Structure 1
Amino acid sequence: MALLITDECINCDVCEPECPNDAIYLGTEIYEIDPARCTECVGHHDEPQCKVVCPVECIELHPEFHETHEQLMVKYRKLTAPA
């Protein structure tokens, strides 16, 4: 699954630099996560780093993007493959 930042986000800027896939960006009002780039840190870390550092716990599973660990690993490999 990709992750989703809820509207409880306080724009503290701590999650964006922690994302190894550059999936987090500042949207029009709050930070957002690109589901095409989010692997929940599979391939990089044991747990999603954005969730680890979020002081208000506003990051949750995205209800529209259900992916297995294997699918997230495939996405990770595509994102990290040499160009």
Structure 2
Amino acid sequence: FKPMVGLLDIIFNDEIGHVKIGNTWYHTLCQQRGLDPIQTFDQLIQKHIGESLRGPFNIEARKLADFSENELNYLQAL
């Protein structure tokens, strides 16, 4: 199982980088369009998923991906 754990660690760290890049672009686009990021995210979830997201959420990983305190509070309140 050790090789699998090592691979999962690599994937986990790689995904944090991908989420961080996506989060940066999301905030840039929201800022350019004058949109509130959290309100817009909530509207997009309702439109495309139709229900609230369900946790648990890996808060520490999201911190590494530069989620703001407001974003983390939003997720924890779900």
What's the TM-score once normalised by structure 2's chain length?
0.29
What's the TM-score once normalised by structure 1's chain length?
0.27
Question: Relative to total residues, which structure has the larger helix share, 1 or 2?
Answer: 2
Whose radius of gyration is greater, 1 or 2?
2
